[in-house]
């Protein structure tokens, strides 16, 4: 059983913001695989289903971002999932818009949701898919930037990227994290 968690903030005011790209990814995966996100438990909005023969739980934590680890820990405990069966999807300002980076472990890199998950899991070793949302423009406040929405000219890139994230999850579950890294970490290059 895999637990795929997309990070974001609950409530409508945060919908479709850069910081909620993890929620958007879960919605896309759910839609593509006919999984209903209709159960509220483990401090998350969850859906249970199958993707390419793998049983999955899709989750959008309903805590605020900096408490995401509470939900992840509850999900892991309830489903008796190991670290290897957890995939976390979240935004990254150090990557260009639409760029993916998949890793089997790593630090929080200043991301409060990941900081909370590392704290509650007691390890940095879990699969993560970082989605580039671009760096904040000079003079902008970081919170204002990540809580802002993608401009119209980036919408198509984001839609395509969410499709790539869905495929990347399938590859991680079927072929392993290394195969997913080889396939998707090169799918979009950073600007030179």
Q: Each residue of 105-128: pLDDT tens digit?
A: 999 999 999 999 999 999 999 999
Q: What is the pTM of this model?
A: 0.95
Give the tens place of pLDDT for each residue, 132-144. 999 999 999 998 9
DSSP states along 71-135: HHHHHHHHHT--GGGEEEEEEETTS-TT-EEEES----TT-HHHHHHHHHHT-S-SEEEEEE--P
Domains (range + CATH), the chain: 2-184 (3.40.50.1470)
188 contact partners, CB below 8 Å, separation of at least 6? 96, 98, 99, 100, 132, 161
| Integer CA distances (angstroms), 52 to 1, 33, 174, in order | 12, 9, 8
**Residue-level pLDDT at 191:** 40
Catalytic residue ranges: 19
């Amino acid at each position: 059983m895999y637990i795929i968690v997309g990070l974001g903030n609950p409530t409508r005011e945060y919908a479709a913001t850069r910081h909620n790209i993890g929620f958007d990814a879960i919605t896309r995966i759910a839609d593509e695989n006919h999984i209903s996100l209709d159960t509220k438990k483990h401090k998350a909005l969850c859906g249970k289903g199958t993707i390419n023969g793998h049983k999955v739980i899709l989750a959008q934590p309903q805590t605020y971002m900096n408490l995401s680890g509470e939900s992840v820990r509850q999900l892991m405990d309830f489903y008796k999932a190991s670290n290897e069966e957890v995939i976390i999807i979240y935004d990254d300002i150090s990557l260009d818009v639409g760029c993916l980076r998949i890793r089997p472990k790593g630090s929080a890199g200043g991301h409060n949701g990941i900081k909370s998950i590392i704290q509650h899991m007691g390890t940095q070793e879990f699969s993560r898919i970082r989605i580039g949302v671009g760096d904040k423009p000079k003079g902008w406040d970081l919170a204002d930037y990540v809580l802002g929405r993608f401009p119209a000219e980036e919408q198509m890139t984001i839609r395509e990227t969410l499709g790539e994230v869905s495929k990347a999850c399938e590859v991680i579950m079927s072929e392993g994290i290394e195969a997913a890294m080889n396939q998707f970490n090169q799918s979009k290059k950073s600007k030179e």
